[in-house]
Amino acid sequence: MTSSSSATRTAIVTGAARGIGRGIAERLAADGLDVAVADLPGMGEELSEVAAGIEKTGRRALAVHADVTSKEQTDELVEEVAGRFGRVDVYVANAGIARVTPLLETGLDEFEQVMAVNLRGVFLSYQAAARQMIAQGGGGKIIGAASIVAYRPFALLGAYSASKWGVRGLTQAAAMEWARHGITVNAYCPGIVGTDMWDLIDERLAEAEGLQKGRAIKKYAEAIALGRVEEPADVASFVSYLASPDSDYMTGQSVMIDGGIQFS
Ligand X SMILES: NC(=O)C1=CN([C@@H]2O[C@H](COP(=O)(O)OP(=O)(O)OC[C@H]3O[C@@H](n4cnc5c(N)ncnc54)[C@H](O)[C@@H]3O)[C@@H](O)[C@H]2O)C=CC1
Element (H, E) at 34: strand 34-39
Interaction pattern, residues 71-100, with ligand BUO; x per rule: CB under 6 A: ---------------------------x--
Does 197 contact ligand BUO by CB under 6 A?
Answer: yes
Supply the Cα-derived Rg of the chain in whole angstroms: 18
Q: Cα(65)–Cα(14) distance, rounded to whole angstroms? A: 10
192, 217, 235, 257: residue in contact with ligand BUO (rule CB under 6 A) = 192
Q: Which is nearer to ligand X, 195 or 251 (CB)?
A: 195
14, 125, 161, 171: residue in contact with ligand X (rule CB under 6 A) = 14
User: Please, which residues bridge with residue 35 across strands?
Assistant: 11, 61
Smallest gap from residue 67 Cβ to ligand X (A)? 4
Smallest gap from residue 262 Cβ to ligand BUO (A)? 9
160 belongs to the catalytic site? yes
Please give the single-letter amino acid code of residue 41: P
Q: Cα(182)–Cα(141) distance, rounded to whole angstroms? A: 9
Please give the backbone phi and psi of residue 93, each rounded to the nearest 5 degrees, phi first: -85, 80
Please give the single-letter amino acid code of residue 153: P
94, 132, 147, 240: residue in contact with ligand BUO (rule CB under 6 A) = 147
User: Please, which residues bridge with residue 145 across strands?
Assistant: 188
Does 94 contact ligand X by CB under 6 A?
Answer: yes
Binding residues for NAD(+): 39, 67-68, 94, 160, 164, 190-195
